[in-house]
Structure 1
Amino acid sequence: AAVAADDIEVVGKSYHENMKSWSKLQQTLLQNNMLPTPIPRTHTSRGFSGLPPDQTPALEGALRGTIHCPNTDPQINELLSSMLASWNEPRGTRDDLAQYYYTDKDGTRQQHPFVPLPLDHFDPQHPEEVRTKRRRYLTFEPDTGGWNNLRISFENILTLAALSGRTLVLPPEQSMYLLYAKKGDTRNGYRQYTDYFNMTDNSDFLRRVPIISAEEFLRLEGGDDGFVPLNGYDETKKQHLLDVAKGCEERKKSEVFCEDLYDHYLAHGQLQPLISEPVAEQNCFVFDKDVFLYGDEYISKLSEDVQARIQTYCKNRPPVYYNKTMHDAPVWHFETMDLKWRLLTHSYALLFFTDPVIGNYYLRFARDYFRYHDEVYCAAGKMILAMQYEKDVLFGDAHNPGADLDRELVGGYSSLHVRRGDLQFPEVRFDSATWYENTKELWKPNEILYIATDERNATFFDDFRRKHSGPLRFFDDFRELADLDSIDSTLYGMIETVVSSRGSVFAGTWFSTFSGYIVRLRGYYGMSKYFTYYSWLDRKFFMHEWMNVGSGSLFAREYPVAWTGIDGDKFVDNDSEKPRKKAREVVSVDGGTFLERDTLYPRDEMEEAKAVAESELNKLGRGLAGRPMSETPALLGAFRGHVSCDVNVDNSVVYWNEPQGHRDYAFKTPFGVGTDKPKYLAFTPDGGGFNNIRMSFEIILIIAAALDRILVLPPEQPMYLLRNDAAKRHRGLDAFFDIESPSFQKRVRVITMEQFVMKEGLVDIEGQPQGQFPADVEEFDHLATAAKECNKGMPKKKWKEGDLTSCDIVHAYLSKHGTTPEISASHHQCLVFDKGMFDTGKPDDEKGASEFCSSGKRKMVFLTKEFDEPQLLYIQAGKPPTRMLSHYYGYMYFSDVAVGNYYKRLVRD
């Protein structure tokens, strides 16, 4: 691998230096064109989890979210945002304005009771606003488990606060289990949910769920007229509760015992109705508009379809219906620290909405709002880009870095979560050799594997390392690159969650809610279910088949209903991915059926199935002109293009891809020759109608791109048959083609003739040239004017060569400094791009070129280094003998078919 790295020029002397420095890594990626195309923010439907635009009215007006990373180049920041933002921001117009209504018995349209209108504004610096805006509260106790147990419980709390229109009261700051702060932590290890979730600095979220602290709650509602009055206690007890509200400990002998404050809440509030333990008493929470509005007697009137869905969802759990008694309670308290009332159940597995429009609204609510601070994603992004870079250096194609990334920019490494620590389930605790044996067919040879783990013994993974041919990477490997020592150590697990979620293939630990959240993030990112596994063989393929939430454990895993099709308005009970070919239906002993799978699912089969599925999902292979995705690696990472209109016309008119696939985005021409000074290609447009101009321009464009030259656009001028607009008689090619777009400029650098003359034609007051192609001092002003706009007709100006039109002035200047190659698309020639001829003077495919040029007995003209020597090439394409009136694909031959097809896609896209 080290030898391979040395052979790749783009990485410099040592890639190891870049792996330790964020600034050096950025510089290397930018200078060597090693970055994939960012995903456009308008592409809000993610991979296999998404739906077609006509099925997602909730996404109208939405954009992909963004992150903001300090000390990061804007281009790289844009890339990281497009990769890592699993949420939309802004959300769709319908969600943003809470446009969810129902018609009452009088025929009047009303706001839906489970989607309250957001506040116009909430300022967390002025919590007293809730006394007039949202004076109903939800209080709760944190879960006693690790962070992901806390998160699961908290997601329920946030959703319940939102749908009931309540102000959320946070518990006091306190230590959270297994979130270890660094030595000398100024907060004594105390933390708050807002240290992790991006909530109190998200004004859009606060309009829906105002948040106040326990201290603020007692100040607002602890008085004689408050909902949780302290007037029943002596001064010592009052002060005690005020102290607990500032920060507490979950120890009975502590002077600030958390439970004392929670008991005070419960004494004045209504207890939640949800039971967790024992399992036989578990229930599920059902939200039905009619039952809420008209009372429990309406339950028997629910349609058979709704009742069947409730039964499927709740299974053996008796349903509890949300009612007005719960809704109207001034304080609704959730005693979730108590084992009986614990909410260790995913919100989408506990809260059932009989209306899928509302249910999917809250699934999007969780996806879009329950996210970590940017600091987490920025650190994860650095680690991800480093591994993708390392893969390109050690095992990739130097000319096509990132070529194996998928359309969501996932790839470059795969990942595992190896839970050890205090895991209570011995059946899923393995040594590293067993981990390898249980997952070995999932990994590619030499693949980088990122391992998230709480195992502190450095030798534990030696057996795995000996068996796997590729590098193993761990969190500490990126301590310097991602500046991890400057980050709150309680965030480390969240950073690892994001990094692990972006692996091509992921294998997790069954029962672990840490692994579970990685799986859910992969769902949000739209990854194929066939690329997610568990290491326990009994559960290895559990993510490959659809399972309803009532059919399995409510915490040991995540369920695809949380992310599949949630931007639509219908119930979702399956995904869009086809069953694996080698899964067969088998009749069980009890007469039922189940799918029997291979014990192994080789990676090459996985990749092939994913490629075919992505092709069908994205419809990138157009009709009869397309090819199966397995035959079109250049489309990996591509999207269909987008047109910004007042109506959606993408499906009807867009034939191009934007962005192109990763391989095309990173393509480097084999015919470019580096030079200290920039080289240019200037040309005259064809003199015919627009389609003649277009045909000629396509040839010019490919020559400029193949030679890696800056393309100089002709001055604006009247065009044949396009002269009837009196307001705009002069036009340039940029009036028709999207030449100024970043994607176009990346592939072909373009400047105007005016910019070219001002840069390369200048002379100083002493007549000394400032550019490569100095103009005569006394004629410079006329040239600069003509370079901006010219006319082939009258009037004429006196010039050294005689009376010239303004277009002739530009022509004379270019002819003086440029070299016009003897090529023509109109006079029995063909232009051959052959790497062997270009490099050594000996063609690689003379026979193929000869056969191509035999049509019309055309003369072969090879592109050579001599052809490319002049600093300025001037192709006089407008008229014979050097006119370029031909279809480029009938005039140009590329001996390397892959390179030729690249330029065909360049023209199309």
Structure 2
Amino acid sequence: MVYWKDLPSDALFTSPINRERKKKKYLTFEPDGGGFNNIRMSLETMVLMAHAMGRTLVMPPSQGMYLLRKDRDKQRVHFSFDDFYHLEQVGYEHAGLDIITMEEFLKTEGMAGNLRNKTTGTVVYPPNNRTKWDGLDPKELKEYLRGVTLTPLDWKPERCVVAFPSDDGREHFKELEDIFSEASGQKPKWAQFTDNPVAVDAPPQERLKESLRGGDVKNLCIYDEEMQEAPVVHFMCYHKMRVRFLTHFYAFLFFEDWRQDLWSKRFVRDHLRYSDEIQCAAARIVAALRKRARDRDPKGNPDGDYDSFHIRRGDFQYKNTRLEADQIYDNTKDELKEGSTVFVATDHQGKPFFKPLSDHYDLVFLKDFKHELEGVNSNYYGMIDQLVASRGRTFFGCFHSTFSGFIFRMRGYHSQNDRLDDRAQALGIVPRSYYYSSKQDMRLYDKYYSVHGAVYSREYPVAWRDIDKGVDLLKDEIAAVE
């Protein structure tokens, strides 16, 4: 299951901005209001921005999450991010990242009278002097935070990329504007980078040129002097104002120093991964699946390889992905072996729907492995589905789905550890990874594509390609700073 690495030098890296941290500053944020994988994408961006800004990250209180609000007894439950990740441990391990709870923040800053109305300058205490908001409706808390913090409403992923310089100081932020002018002035088209990626250690002008999404990005969002001076920067999620971080961190954040760019991608790979409880439950099912596949064909499949799907049928606005099972079979049959064991991650509960597939394959689902899930929180089942599907020999995902997207990204991480041919390794190609929705979209992971279009709806090789380059150089830089 392991695609991540333990790199001690990465844990010592600190952002050049506010490196000395003479005065503690904070970043607060509101979780995305969509499904868990949309929430995950936003979290990745917020953690990296806190590190890049040299700010203490304040985690939101536990609250209900879309589609994760009920337990087995149909009771409403609330979650913090520590329920899914080892965030507390990550904060302890990384020299450049402090993580605290909202309760700690409100006790330390709110109740001490350090938070002021950003219009009048008067001290404002938390609503009802409450510091513990776990399990409560967060509406009042959101309104409070929006009123006492710097809240940048123009940092929108669809209109800009956020740029961080390689050194601290005003003059270095001016350098970024010059780099942006040079890169955007060449009017790059995203298609020119197809199977022709910019080197991960290329000059910033070249890397930024590819990051402009074929001209979709018109502006540079800079962590300017006003934001740097603000005690607290708060990022909203407010759909009515179209303020939402529904994007991939690697499509929104740009680092002038390529080593910091790759560090950020390794950080997400190595540390923003599901908790050990979730990983181990998935590993048990993968082992059981491989035994089943091996027992069915001991001579032809001694390694117990299985194939996998993610078939989404629930509340999904993209009608073009809502195919019947016979259409899915027709679109995918050329890549699968008749009679092979196939694992299906799905939100559809009725097995009769899948008959056109089960007529040809040994079709299995997560609920077929209940004995491996005893004592496991049922709200983890979706993440376990993802992990199990990610280890399929061949995988078919649902186009536009961020659930499928994360499976593709994990397969991308794994691919960098596999011994692929030189071309596939150099381009970040993910073998045997497809979409089932149409022949047109099926083979998007057979090529290198730069980030473009509806960014959130799929993943891109820039997230995993050549991700470990420069680890030794970064280690030398840390030693020099120390």
- Confirm or deny a common fold (TM above 0.5): yes
Deviates more, 1:142-151 or 1:525-534: 525-534
The reply to whether residue 345 of structure 1 matches residue 247 of structure 2 is yes
The reply to whether residue 238 of structure 1 matches residue 238 of structure 2 is no
Instruction: Look up the match of 1:362.
Output: 264
The answer to whether the 8 A contact 2:150-2:233 is kept is yes
SS of equivalent residue, structure 2 residue 24: coil
2-structure distance, mates of 1:533, 1:412: 17
Q: Match for 2:309 among 416, 430, 437?
A: 416
Instruction: Look up the match of 2:209.
Output: 311
1-structure distance, mates of 2:3, 2:325: 32
SS of equivalent residue, structure 2 residue 3: coil
SS of equivalent residue, structure 1 residue 479: helix
1-structure distance, mates of 2:259, 2:355: 51
> 1:196-247: CA deviations, max 9, x gaps?
0111134644644322222221111113442369985699x424x546x233
2-structure distance, mates of 1:234, 1:329: 18
Please tell me the residue identity of whatever aligns with 2:345: A
Q: Match for 2:164 among 284, 287, 294?
A: 287
Per-residue deviation, 1:266: 1.9
The answer to whether the 8 A contact 2:26-2:56 is kept is yes
Please tell me the residue identity of whatever aligns with 1:86: Y
Instruction: Look up the match of 1:775.
Output: none
SS of equivalent residue, structure 1 residue 460: helix
2-structure distance, mates of 1:168, 1:514: 26
2-structure distance, mates of 1:274, 1:308: 25
1-structure distance, mates of 2:41, 2:173: 29
SS of equivalent residue, structure 2 residue 431: helix
1-structure distance, mates of 2:369, 2:293: 15
Q: Match for 1:436 among 324, 329, 339?
A: 329
User: CA 1:291–1:163 in structure 2 vs 1: closer, same or farther (change >3 Å)?
Assistant: closer
Per-residue deviation, 1:297: 4.0
User: CA 1:292–1:231 in structure 2 vs 1: closer, same or farther (change >3 Å)?
Assistant: closer
1-structure distance, mates of 2:453, 2:395: 21
User: CA 1:114–1:86 in structure 2 vs 1: closer, same or farther (change >3 Å)?
Assistant: farther
Per-residue deviation, 1:133: 8.1
Q: Match for 2:369 among 478, 484, 497?
A: 478
SS of equivalent residue, structure 2 residue 28: strand
1-structure distance, mates of 2:125, 2:178: 52
Instruction: Look up the match of 2:59.
Output: 170
User: CA 1:507–1:195 in structure 2 vs 1: closer, same or farther (change >3 Å)?
Assistant: same
2-structure distance, mates of 1:376, 1:112: 31
The answer to whether the 8 A contact 1:274-1:285 is kept is no
TM-score by length of 2: 0.82
Instruction: Look up the match of 2:34.
Output: 145
1-structure distance, mates of 2:36, 2:15: 34
The answer to whether the 8 A contact 1:379-1:495 is kept is yes
User: CA 1:365–1:446 in structure 2 vs 1: closer, same or farther (change >3 Å)?
Assistant: same
User: CA 1:92–1:213 in structure 2 vs 1: closer, same or farther (change >3 Å)?
Assistant: closer
Instruction: Look up the match of 1:263.
Output: 143
What is the aligned length? Answer: 430
SS of equivalent residue, structure 2 residue 351: coil
Instruction: Look up the match of 1:405.
Output: none
Which structure 2 segments of 5+ residues have no match?
A: 184-202, 419-428, 472-482
The answer to whether the 8 A contact 1:510-1:534 is kept is yes
The answer to whether the 8 A contact 1:143-1:150 is kept is yes
Instruction: Look up the match of 1:87.
Output: 4
SS of equivalent residue, structure 1 residue 270: coil
User: CA 1:356–1:112 in structure 2 vs 1: closer, same or farther (change >3 Å)?
Assistant: same
Per-residue deviation, 1:390: 1.2
1-structure distance, mates of 2:404, 2:177: 40
The answer to whether the 8 A contact 1:291-1:323 is kept is no
1-structure distance, mates of 2:352, 2:221: 51
User: CA 1:382–1:351 in structure 2 vs 1: closer, same or farther (change >3 Å)?
Assistant: same
User: CA 1:539–1:194 in structure 2 vs 1: closer, same or farther (change >3 Å)?
Assistant: same
Per-residue deviation, 1:271: 1.2
2-structure distance, mates of 1:137, 1:497: 33
Instruction: Look up the match of 1:834.
Output: none
The reply to whether residue 539 of structure 1 matches residue 437 of structure 2 is no
SS of equivalent residue, structure 2 residue 455: coil
User: CA 1:144–1:472 in structure 2 vs 1: closer, same or farther (change >3 Å)?
Assistant: same
Per-residue deviation, 1:533: 0.3
1-structure distance, mates of 2:45, 2:224: 17
The answer to whether the 8 A contact 1:152-1:345 is kept is yes
User: CA 1:395–1:182 in structure 2 vs 1: closer, same or farther (change >3 Å)?
Assistant: same
The answer to whether the 8 A contact 1:395-1:446 is kept is no
Per-residue deviation, 1:174: 1.0
2-structure distance, mates of 1:379, 1:348: 29
Please tell me the residue identity of whatever aligns with 1:370: L
The correspondence of residues 777-796 of structure 1 with structure 2, limited to 5 A, is: none
2-structure distance, mates of 1:270, 1:532: 43
User: CA 1:416–1:225 in structure 2 vs 1: closer, same or farther (change >3 Å)?
Assistant: same
2-structure distance, mates of 1:185, 1:133: 48
The correspondence of residues 5-16 of structure 1 with structure 2, limited to 5 A, is: none
Per-residue deviation, 1:456: 1.2
The structure whose RCO (Cα within 8 Å, separation 6+) is larger is 2
2-structure distance, mates of 1:206, 1:300: 30
The answer to whether the 8 A contact 2:124-2:148 is kept is no
Q: What's the C-alpha RMSD, in Å, of the aligned pairs?
A: 2.7
The correspondence of residues 368-447 of structure 1 with structure 2, limited to 5 A, is: 368-397=270-299, 401-402=302-303, 412-447=305-340
Please tell me the residue identity of whatever aligns with 1:219: K
Per-residue deviation, 1:136: 1.0
Per-residue deviation, 1:328: 3.1
> 1:178-206: CA deviations, max 9, x gaps?
114324478x3111111001111346446
The answer to whether the 8 A contact 1:291-1:299 is kept is no
> 1:741-786: CA deviations, max 9, x gaps?
xxxxxxxxxxxxxxxxxxxxxxxxxxxxxxxxxxxxxxxxxxxxxx
User: CA 1:446–1:228 in structure 2 vs 1: closer, same or farther (change >3 Å)?
Assistant: farther
Instruction: Look up the match of 2:196.
Output: none
Instruction: Look up the match of 1:566.
Output: 467
The answer to whether the 8 A contact 2:306-2:343 is kept is yes
The reply to whether residue 227 of structure 1 matches residue 124 of structure 2 is no
The answer to whether the 8 A contact 1:134-1:165 is kept is no
2-structure distance, mates of 1:392, 1:507: 21
Instruction: Look up the match of 1:113.
Output: 16
SS of equivalent residue, structure 1 residue 462: helix
User: CA 1:96–1:507 in structure 2 vs 1: closer, same or farther (change >3 Å)?
Assistant: same
The correspondence of residues 459-470 of structure 1 with structure 2, limited to 5 A, is: 459-466=352-359, 468=360, 470=361
Per-residue deviation, 1:288: 2.4
The reply to whether residue 97 of structure 1 matches residue 18 of structure 2 is no
> 1:877-896: CA deviations, max 9, x gaps?
xxxxxxxxxxxxxxxxxxxx
Please tell me the residue identity of whatever aligns with 1:175: G
2-structure distance, mates of 1:198, 1:133: 28
The answer to whether the 8 A contact 2:15-2:51 is kept is no
1-structure distance, mates of 2:49, 2:93: 14
The answer to whether the 8 A contact 2:115-2:125 is kept is no
Please tell me the residue identity of whatever aligns with 1:316: D
Please tell me the residue identity of whatever aligns with 2:209: Q
Per-residue deviation, 1:261: 0.9
2-structure distance, mates of 1:344, 1:232: 33
Q: Match for 1:320 among 221, 234, 244?
A: 221
Amino-acid identity (%): 32
Per-residue deviation, 1:352: 1.1
Instruction: Look up the match of 1:212.
Output: 100
The answer to whether the 8 A contact 1:134-1:167 is kept is no
Please tell me the residue identity of whatever aligns with 1:561: V
SS of equivalent residue, structure 1 residue 172: coil
1-structure distance, mates of 2:124, 2:227: 27
> 1:85-109: CA deviations, max 9, x gaps?
22112x143x2332xxxxxxxxxxx
Instruction: Look up the match of 1:505.
Output: 394
